[in-house]
Amino acid sequence: MLKAVHFGAGNIGRGLIGELLNKDGFEITFIDINQELIDYLNANGKYVIEYADGKGTQVEIDSVSALNILADEKDIIDRILEADLITTSIGMENIEKISKLMAKCLVARGLTNKKIDLIANENAINATDRLKNEIQNQVSEDVWKMILSNTGFVNSAIDRQALSKEVNGLNIPVVEPYREWVVEKSKFKNAYVLKQLKNLVCVDDLKPYIERKLYIVNAGHAIAAYIGYIFEKKTVQESLADEKIFEFVRKVMLINSRYLKSEYSMNDKDLESFIESTLQRHKSPYVEDEVSRVARSPMRKLGADERIVGPILKLRKLGQFPKESIITVAAVLSYRDKDDSEAVEMEGLLSRLGTELFLKTHCGIKDKKIIKAIEQAVDDIRKNRDSIFEGI
């Protein structure tokens, strides 16, 4: 049996990567920090995921075990010595935290001269390359050369709404039936393993896929959450049930698609139908996605190449002034959640630096006209939240 080591046994780890690797015949070791979940996976050797398909279809994923990253370092290295593939989905904020152990694992693996591939499955452009840089920072130049000659660092784009629910104290991933797992073919070192991964889509150029994912799918999702927050909606579905919000979200997705059209010569009709089907996924009656989950980590989401600001900067370079997309930055800046450390950090930075400096230093927005428009929109939203929809 092929063996995979997957870091992050959360919603997408168990709900997408776990399912697909299992379908392709892999035995999976999950690495996590949640001891209760680790104990459950070890005691049962399997888990269940539920499809949000209106029927509650359940799928069993077997041949699994788990280790704790904080307590089982030696065992983790041993598993990686025997593994055929390493994957992650732990969240970008945790990538740096696993880099030291990952470096140790890849050094041990490199000494055996056996090839291995690593895929970071996170919502970010070149997430694997970002992990790769963190790993490089942990080792000397010679050791890095050895790691590079034995390890394939493969970027990916993944798409599936994966939530979870608690049933009798047990956490069950709840996933939409739709799924996508796209990887960069040329980066794979182990051709045999790649051939066994039948549920992967291999492409030569990942950029159009990850940009379409972030700038259409995740942008639409995030905007529904941030505008939903302003209108006191609890879930994304509740937010999109409001016609004005729905039309606003669709408009921004269409505006963002102008960049994809120009950059990749994507066809208008295909983009429009992609947007429509994405909106249907986001408003599925079988999914109840909390605003707080989708709006989580607003500082990350305001990054210069991320879902909110990325399309604005790219469209500006094309000479455009995407008014509605600009308003969405103001909506993110208005977001508050005392349980989300990044939302708390954002609020603190905004009050210490002011909006203009925050936008310049954190979001890479230097254009005076855009900064002014964002400041104006923040003000307008504070006075009258319906100002968001003016002109729609």
Ligand X SMILES: O=P(O)(O)OC[C@@H](O)[C@@H](O)[C@H](O)[C@H](O)CO
By C-beta, is 95 or 106 nearer to ligand X?
95
Report the distance separating Cα 130 and Cα 323, nearest Å: 31
Which span (91-99, 319-327, 333-341, 375-383) binds ligand NAD, by CB under 6 A? 91-99
97 is an interface residue for ligand NAD by CB under 6 A: yes
**Least distance from ligand NAD to the Cβ atom of residue 274, Å:** 17
Among 31, 105, 182, 308, contact with ligand NAD (rule: CB under 6 A): 31
Residue 4 among known ligand-binding residues? yes
Tell me the three-class secondary structure of the chain, residue by residue.
CEEEEEECCCHHHHHHHHHHHHHCCEEEEEEECCHHHHHHHHHHCEEEEEECCCCCCEEEEECEEEEECCCCHHHHHHHHHHCCEEEECCCHHHHHHHHHHHHHHHHHHHHCCCCEEEEECCCCCCHHHHHHHHHHCCCCHHHHHHHHHHEEEECEEEECCEEEEEECCEEEEEECCCCEEEEEHHHCCCHHHHHHCCCCEEECCCHHHHHHHHHHHHHHHHHHHHHHHHCCCCEHHHHHCCHHHHHHHHHHHHHHHHHHHHHHCCCHHHHHHHHHHHHHHHCCCCCCCEHHHHCCCHHHHCCCCCCCHHHHHHHHHCCCCCHHHHHHHHHHHCCCCCCCHHHHHHHHHHHHHCHHHHHHHHHCCCCHHHHHHHHHHHHHHHHCHHHHHCCC
Interface map 138-177 toward ligand NAD (x if CB under 6 A): --------------------x-xxx---------------
Tell me, by CB under 6 A, how many residues bind ligand X: 11
Among 3, 24, 33, 207, contact with ligand NAD (rule: CB under 6 A): 33
342 is an interface residue for ligand NAD by CB under 6 A: no
Question: 122 with 92: CB under 8 angstroms?
Answer: yes
Question: 134 with 99: CB under 8 angstroms?
Answer: yes
Residue 11 among known ligand-binding residues? yes
By C-beta, is 67 or 315 nearer to ligand NAD?
67
296 is an interface residue for ligand X by CB under 6 A: yes
**Least distance from ligand X to the Cβ atom of residue 34, Å:** 18
Question: 374 with 326: CB under 8 angstroms?
Answer: yes
Which span (83-91, 180-188, 224-232, 241-249) binds ligand NAD, by CB under 6 A? 83-91
Residue 303 among known ligand-binding residues? no
Question: 88 with 121: CB under 8 angstroms?
Answer: yes
Which span (1-9, 38-46, 264-272, 347-355) binds ligand NAD, by CB under 6 A? 1-9
342 is an interface residue for ligand X by CB under 6 A: no
Residue 322 interacts with, from ligand NAD, ligand X, none (CB under 5-8 Å by kind): none
**Least distance from ligand NAD to the Cβ atom of residue 337, Å:** 15
**Least distance from ligand NAD to the Cβ atom of residue 348, Å:** 23
Residue 97 interacts with, from ligand X, ligand NAD, none (CB under 5-8 Å by kind): ligand NAD
Among 2, 24, 34, 96, contact with ligand NAD (rule: CB under 6 A): 34
Residue 10 among known ligand-binding residues? yes
Residue 221 interacts with, from ligand NAD, ligand X, none (CB under 5-8 Å by kind): ligand X
Residue 297 interacts with, from ligand NAD, ligand X, none (CB under 5-8 Å by kind): ligand X
Question: 335 with 328: CB under 8 angstroms?
Answer: no
Q: Which of residues 151-170 bind ligand X (CB under 6 A)?
A: 159-161
Site for ligand NAD, rule CB under 6 A? 7-13, 31-34, 69, 89-92, 94, 97-98, 122-123, 158, 160-162
Binding-site residue numbers for NAD(+) are: 4-15
